[in-house]
């Protein structure tokens, strides 16, 4: 656990307290996807891992205590990119769209957790 804690920015503080006030509302989730044809899954997974390891934004953790709310950056990050295969579904595209919409609508745990899926 890192011990370099620093305050949230003003914008982060606003979002944090608004999310605490509305814990079931994923208003601040940002999501996106790209429709692609045939891809090399292993290369995509390797690129994802490299991106997550190289960018500190993926290591941000928010913690609170009696002194306030703080953030830190940890090198501990989930880098796996699971393969979710919808090809056996009757309508694979619709099943994938439904799955991604549910992810976009799921609020994040804000405390000492990854802020991304």
Compute the average pLDDT of residues 67-91.
95
Instruction: For the sheet with 68-73, list strands across it.
Output: 6-7, 68-73, 60-65
Torsion of CA 78, 72, 108, 95, to 10 degrees: -30
pTM above 0.85, yes or no: no
Chain mean pLDDT for the chain: 92
CA atoms of 66 and 88, how far apart (whole Å): 51
Tell how strand 68-73 and strand 60-65 pair up. Answer: antiparallel
* Backbone φ and ψ of 39, nearest 5°: -130, 160
Q: How confident is the model at residue 61 (pLDDT cuts 50, 70, 90)?
A: very high
pLDDT digits (tens, 9 = 90+) for 20-59: 999 999 988 888 888 888 999 999 999 999 999 999 999 9
* Backbone φ and ψ of 108, nearest 5°: -85, 150
Both tokens of 112, joined, read 């000492």
Name the residue among 28, 106, 114 with its Cα closest to residue 72.
114
Q: How confident is the model at residue 3 (pLDDT cuts 50, 70, 90)?
A: low
Residue 2, pLDDT > 70, answer no
């Amino acid at each position: 656990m890192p011990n370099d804690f620093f305050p949230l920015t003003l914008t982060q503080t606003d979002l944090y307290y608004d999310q605490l006030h509305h814990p079931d509302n994923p208003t601040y989730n940002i999501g996106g996807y790209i429709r692609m044809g045939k891809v090399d899954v292993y290369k995509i997974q390797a690129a994802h891992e490299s991106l997550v390891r190289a960018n500190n934004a993926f290591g941000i953790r928010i913690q609170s205590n009696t002194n306030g709310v703080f953030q830190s950056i940890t090198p501990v990050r989930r880098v796996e990119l699971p393969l979710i295969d919808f090809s056996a579904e009757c309508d694979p595209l619709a099943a994938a769209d439904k799955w991604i919409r549910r992810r976009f609508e799921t609020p994040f745990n804000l405390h000492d957790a990854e802020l991304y899926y």
